[in-house]
Amino acid sequence: MTKLDPSFWTGREVRLTDPTALMQIGALCLREGKSGPEVLLVKSSRGRWIVPKGWPMDGHTDAEAAKIEAWEEGGVRKGHVSKTPVGGYMTEKRFDDGRRKPCHVSVYRIDVTKMTDTYPEANQRKRKWMPLKKAKKKVDDVGLRALLKALM
């Protein structure tokens, strides 16, 4: 039996490695670029490159929440969202008061067809499309980096 890397996973089966972890929903926004697939990264409030992500939303499926986060944080107007997660990763949620908690992020793929420059967090976040290989190098979150590498 091989040792499972608990920092990320791919596929539909969600792997909860820490039952006390917070839960968030992520959006892996993809488009076809000049040299292959590109992923949309946004800057977090702490200045790190991440995928759009947020908390589950009452009255919405997790897939719908992923699409809403992609709109609010990255300006994604239209795209096809996977009904189930394409994978996920463990990270650490950092709070303004200095607390840190483990956080499980389930990631949904969005094949983006339309973007806009006017969106709710346009003045708060920088966004950038990058080839998967470059995006993998830009993110500093170990789990997200491993997930991007696995999807290459």
Tokens representing residue 126 in the block: 């920088």
pTM, 2 dp: 0.87
CB–CB of 147/30 below 8 Å? no
Q: How many CB atoms lie within 10 A of CB 59?
A: 6
Q: How many CB atoms lie within 10 A of CB 93?
A: 14
Residue 3 lies in a domain: no
Residue 17 lies in a domain: yes
Mean pLDDT over the full length of the chain: 87
Res 8 pLDDT > 80? no
CB–CB of 92/69 below 8 Å? no
- pLDDT tens-place string over residues 88-132: 888 888 888 988 888 889 999 999 999 999 999 999 999 999 999
| Domain around 143 | 8-151
Domain count of the chain? Answer: 1
Tell me which amino acid residue 33 is.
G
pLDDT score of 4: 38
Res 5 pLDDT > 50? no
Ramachandran region, residue 23 (left: φ > 0; alpha: ψ -120 to 50; beta: rest): beta
Q: Residue 43: which CATH number?
A: 3.90.79.10
pLDDT score of 7: 56
- Percentage of the chain lying above the pLDDT 70 cut: 88
Query: Of all residues in the chain, what percent are helix, strand and coil, respectively (each to 5)?
Result: 20, 40, 40
CB–CB of 141/46 below 8 Å? no
Tell me which amino acid residue 135 is.
A
Chain centroid to CA 145: 11
